[in-house]
């Protein structure tokens, strides 16, 4: 795609990095990871929460489809996007800083259900000024993630962090309110609610019409998991358990049974082991914990009972295929091949539904399958002012998908209340694949993995099994991001066609087209920034966070330093992408160099000589630039070009009579902060003597 623009808006808003396009919420993943790489965690939290009202929940359990489309996969391994979101919410000094809500509209909205969909709808409607009350039938909030996800994956405290932040926006929450039992739509309308959203989700487990499915020791997944959330086991210790199902919920049920002291736990399902729809890591961790997969590829046929009315096991028949030639669910079986999965307890985990027949008594129509139909554009039911969204409409899926659907429903409710149509949504377009000629120049970097508790430590308790990143791990992982589409852009009106960008780019991204024009292929750009300061006509813009605003950030940092220090002011400009721990560097500056200003830039190759000269205009007495040696640089030739820009600035300083000695560059490798301490102290003394 040729970039031919008169301004710096190089990429159409709907053109996104593949990770962002794949995310149901279209989160600015690239943006918050860039902020993590720069140690700007509070800003990263603000950016995350702009699109995702449940960041802590998603940081713990999101299925992260975004990682499946990460372009880094073609080089080494995908970014740990979920892990970095979790890191931000656990480590930002003020991750839930209150944002501004719009002026009150005077409109009241009732939301039935506090699952992920209901919470997102509540957040979005409160944000634009509507008064929102959430009604929940249980005694706590979170819906499926509160009662259906085991605490070893998602602690209650994590859920409450997100719910409390939404409550802080003015959303009212009420427990023990069950629609159809002690609450009706007429009641809510009499209370003055202008719109009502039915966001109950899928709270009922499904079974199968097989023999003896009503035995007392045949259990359903969701009640079993809900009891576990309250510390109650529905199985006797030592019981052998057969779990029917193949998805993530089935794995949760099996692993929960293990933690309650079950004897053997077996999965029985239609799919063969390589066909399981559960997330691969869930299956792997379940197997590590002793869950047996010998009955994958076998369909449930009957619950077998002995003479004492105790369950002996689950009779299964061989499943030959799950889907037909057209890809529809249509299992075929070999009825001649039967075998029994032995066990005293059988737990159905084959899907969820919602029993909502009571809605018909409230004037709301259901379809012939007992489902709740809504207008696909307005999200309204047949009854005026009554809307629905999330899983109860969309069907089962990951929480983030229900959240995205609920967001659309909330927009429809706002349109109903205000009469203002939202802008038409444009389907995002993902940036294309990296070409092999680009990939071969990208430096390989190992993925940082979240720490999983050992099997022996995790299998007999419900403690959280995963540990978040350390600051050093998060910094290293964030710096692996290729910043897809956030690099250089060609500004045609300023271009003198000097071809400097073509000559200096180590990735071969800028090319001369057949029409003798320059094409900076933004989809191939790796964001090294070498071309950015090399362009004499400022005909190259740069979209990566932390680059274009370097001068204003220098001024703010210097003004703060001068207000603290009052005399000599030294500015330290450092490479955000260095391998040393940014957090330790910042702590060192606070503890030992409190009078100095500190500003980072993502790779010094993006630094312009004019940036350094501006620092002196803003009141710096001296500027020290610290970066990483070439073997640690995230980009090819980054060290060379960073040093070259500093040398250019030193020459100009000498020419204008300020003195080249006021600008110095040092390279600090790894965690050698002691070397940095000494170098900065010596430099400050030298500047003082000038």
For residue range 317-337, list pLDDT tens digits in order.
Answer: 999 999 998 889 999 999 999
DSSP letter at 179? B
The mean pLDDT of 43-47, rounded to a whole number, is: 96
Which of 114, 178, 171 lies closest to 141, judged by CA?
A: 114
Q: What percent of the chain has pLDDT over 90?
A: 72
DSSP letter at 560? H
Residue 556 has pLDDT above 80, yes or no: yes
Residue 132 has pLDDT above 80, yes or no: yes
- Looking only at the bridges linking them, the beta strands covering 204-205 and 352-353 are antiparallel
Q: What is the per-residue pLDDT for 395?
A: 86
Residue 174 has pLDDT above 50, yes or no: yes
Q: What does the DSSP assignment read for 71-92?
A: GGGGTS----HHHHHHHHHHHS
Q: Which residues contact 57 (CB under 8 A, 6 or more apart)?
A: 116, 142, 145, 154, 158, 159, 162, 399
Q: Write down the mean pLDDT value for the chain.
A: 91
- Looking only at the bridges linking them, the beta strands covering 386-388 and 429-430 are unpaired
CA–centroid distance for 16 within its chain? 15
Q: What is the per-residue pLDDT for 370?
A: 80
Residue 303 has pLDDT above 90, yes or no: yes
Residue 552 has pLDDT above 90, yes or no: yes
The encoded tokens of residue 586 equal: 């910042």
Q: What is the per-residue pLDDT for 157?
A: 97
Residue 133 has pLDDT above 80, yes or no: yes
Domain 488-542: which CATH number of 3.40.50.920, 3.40.228.10, 3.30.70.20, 3.40.605.10: 3.30.70.20
Say if residues 100 and 47 touch (Cβ distance below 8 Å): no
The encoded tokens of residue 109 equal: 């909205």
The mean pLDDT of 549-567, rounded to a whole number, is: 88
Q: What is the per-residue pLDDT for 312?
A: 97
Q: What gap in Å lies between CA 181 and CA 359, rounded to an integer?
A: 11
Residue 6 has pLDDT above 60, yes or no: no
Q: Which residues contact 554 (CB under 8 A, 6 or more apart)?
A: 571, 573, 597, 599, 611, 614, 615, 618, 620
Residue 680 has pLDDT above 90, yes or no: no
The CATH code for residues 108-201+354-418 is 3.50.50.60
Q: What percent of the chain has pLDDT over 70?
A: 96
pLDDT band at 583 (very low <50, low <70, confident <90, very high): low
The encoded tokens of residue 244 equal: 């029917």
The sheet with strand 108-112 has its strands ordered as: 172-174, 131-135, 108-112, 195-198, 386-388
> Which of 177-186, 323-332, 432-441 is most confident?
177-186
The mean pLDDT of 461-479, rounded to a whole number, is: 93
Tens digits of residue pLDDT in 195-244: 999 999 998 999 999 999 999 999 999 999 999 999 999 999 999 999 99
The mean pLDDT of 654-666, rounded to a whole number, is: 92
pLDDT band at 600 (very low <50, low <70, confident <90, very high): confident
pLDDT band at 5 (very low <50, low <70, confident <90, very high): very low
The dihedrals phi and psi of 517, each to the nearest 5 degrees, come to -115, 160
Residue 407 has pLDDT above 60, yes or no: yes
The mean pLDDT of 347-374, rounded to a whole number, is: 91
Question: What are the C-alpha distances in Å from 429 to residues 13, 199, 247, 405, 526?
Answer: 9, 30, 30, 19, 19
CATH 3.40.50.1240 fits 205-231+243-258+266-290+299-349, yes or no: no
DSSP 3-state assignment of 334?
strand
pLDDT band at 2 (very low <50, low <70, confident <90, very high): very low
Which of 33, 10, 31 lies closest to 474, judged by CA?
A: 33
Q: What gap in Å lies between CA 280 and CA 642, rounded to an integer?
A: 43
Residue 181 has pLDDT above 70, yes or no: yes
Q: What is the per-residue pLDDT for 9?
A: 40
Residue 592 has pLDDT above 70, yes or no: yes
Residue 67 has pLDDT above 90, yes or no: yes
Question: What are the C-alpha distances in Å from 324 to residues 245, 271, 277, 484, 559?
Answer: 20, 13, 17, 39, 69
Say if residues 469 and 92 touch (Cβ distance below 8 Å): no
The mean pLDDT of 438-459, rounded to a whole number, is: 93
Q: What gap in Å lies between CA 651 and CA 655, rounded to an integer?
A: 6
Same fold, 18-97+434-478 and 550-689: no
CATH architecture of 550-689: 3-Layer(aba) Sandwich (3.40)
Residue ranges per domain, the chain? 18-97+434-478, 108-201+354-418, 205-231+243-258+266-290+299-349, 488-542, 550-689
CA–centroid distance for 321 within its chain? 35
Which of 337, 381, 390 lies closest to 359, judged by CA?
A: 381
Q: Write out the CATH class of domain 18-97+434-478.
A: mainly alpha
Q: What predicted TM-score, i.e. pTM, was given to this entire model? A: 0.90
DSSP 3-state assignment of 459?
coil
218: Cα within 13 Å, side-chain hemisphere:
23
φ/ψ region of 58 (left if φ > 0, alpha if ψ in -120 to 50, else beta) reads: alpha
Q: What gap in Å lies between CA 40 and CA 333, rounded to an integer?
A: 57
Residue 7 has pLDDT above 60, yes or no: no
Tens digits of residue pLDDT in 268-282: 999 999 999 999 999
pLDDT-wise least confident of 441-455, 511-525, 653-667: 511-525
Q: What gap in Å lies between CA 58 and CA 162, rounded to an integer?
A: 10
What residues pair up with 600 in beta bridges, in sequence order? 574
Residue 448 has pLDDT above 90, yes or no: yes
């Amino acid at each position: 795609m040729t970039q031919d623009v008169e301004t710096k808006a190089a990429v159409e808003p709907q053109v996104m990095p593949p990770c962002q396009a794949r995310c149901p919420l279209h989160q600015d993943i690239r943006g918050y990871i860039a902020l993590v790489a720069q140690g700007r965690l509070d800003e990263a939290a603000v950016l995350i929460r702009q699109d995702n009202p449940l960041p802590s929940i998603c940081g713990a359990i999101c299925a992260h489809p975004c990682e499946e489309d990460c372009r880094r996969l073609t080089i080494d391994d995908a970014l740990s996007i979920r892990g970095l979101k979790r890191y931000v919410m656990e480590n930002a000094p003020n991750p839930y800083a209150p944002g501004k809500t719009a002026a009150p509209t005077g409109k009241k909205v009732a939301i039935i259900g506090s699952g992920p969909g209901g919470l997102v709808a509540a957040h979005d409607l409160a944000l634009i000024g509507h008064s929102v009350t959430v009604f929940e039938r249980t005694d706590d909030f979170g819906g499926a993630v509160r009662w259906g996800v085991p605490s070893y994956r998602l602690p209650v405290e994590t859920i409450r962090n997100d719910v409390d932040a939404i409550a802080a926006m003015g959303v009212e929450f009420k427990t023990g309110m069950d629609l159809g039992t002690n609450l009706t739509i007429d009641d809510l309308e009499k209370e003055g609610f202008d719109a009502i959203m039915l966001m109950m989700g899928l709270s009922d487990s499904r079974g199968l019409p097989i023999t003896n499915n009503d035995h007392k020791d045949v259990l359903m997944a969701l009640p079993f998991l809900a009891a576990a959330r309250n510390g109650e086991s529905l199985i006797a210790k030592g019981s052998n358990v057969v779990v029917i199902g193949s998805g993530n919920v089935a794995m949760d049920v099996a692993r929960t049974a293990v933690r309650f002291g079950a004897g053997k736990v077996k999965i029985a399902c239609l799919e063969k082991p390589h066909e399981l729809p559960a997330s691969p890591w869930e299956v792997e961790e379940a197997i590590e914990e002793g869950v047996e997969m010998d009955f994958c590829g076998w369909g449930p046929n009957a619950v077998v009972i002995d003479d004492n009315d105790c369950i002996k096991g689950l009779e299964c028949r061989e499943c030959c295929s799950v889907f037909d030639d057209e890809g529809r669910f249509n299992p075929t079986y070999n009825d001649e091949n039967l075998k029994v999965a032995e066990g005293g307890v059988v737990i159905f985990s084959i899907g969820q539904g919602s029993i909502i027949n009571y809605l018909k008594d409230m004037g709301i129509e259901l379809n012939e399958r007992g489902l709740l139909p809504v207008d696909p554009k307005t999200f309204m039911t047949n009854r005026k002012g009554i809307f629905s969204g999330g899983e109860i409409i969309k069907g089962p899926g990951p929480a983030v998908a229900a959240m995205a659907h609920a967001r659309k429903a909330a927009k429809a409710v706002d349109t109903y209340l205000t009469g203002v149509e939202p802008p038409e949504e444009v389907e995002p377009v993902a940036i294309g694949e990296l070409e092999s000629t680009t990939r071969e120049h990208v430096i390989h970097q190992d993925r940082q993995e979240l720490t999983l508790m050992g099997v022996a430590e995790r299998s007999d308790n419900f403690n959280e099994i995963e540990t978040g990143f350390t600051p050093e791990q998060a910094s290293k992982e964030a710096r692996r991001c290729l910043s897809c589409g956030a690099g250089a852009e060609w500004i045609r009106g300023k271009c003198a066609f000097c071809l400097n960008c073509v000559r200096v780019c180590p990735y071969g991204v800028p090319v001369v087209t057949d029409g003798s024009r320059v094409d900076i292929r933004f989809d191939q750009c790796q964001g090294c920034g070498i071309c950015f300061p090399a362009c004499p006509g400022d005909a190259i813009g740069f979209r990566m966070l932390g680059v274009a605003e370097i001068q204003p950030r220098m001024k703010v940092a210097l003004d703060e330093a001068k207000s603290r220090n009052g005399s000599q002011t030294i500015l330290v400009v450092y490479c955000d992408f260095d391998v040393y721990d940014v957090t330790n560097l910042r702590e060192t500056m606070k503890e030992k160099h409190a009078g100095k200003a500190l500003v980072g830039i993502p790779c010094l190759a993006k630094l312009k000589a004019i940036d350094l000269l501006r620092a002196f205009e803003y009141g710096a007495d001296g500027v020290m630039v610290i970066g990483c040696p070439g073997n640690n640089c995230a980009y090819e030739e980054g060290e060379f070009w960073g040093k070259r820009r500093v040398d250019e600035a030193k020459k100009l300083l000498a020419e204008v009579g300020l003195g080249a000695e006021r600008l110095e560059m040092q390279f600090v490798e790894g965690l050698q902060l002691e070397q940095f301490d000494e170098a900065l102290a010596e430099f400050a003394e030298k500047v003082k003597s000038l």
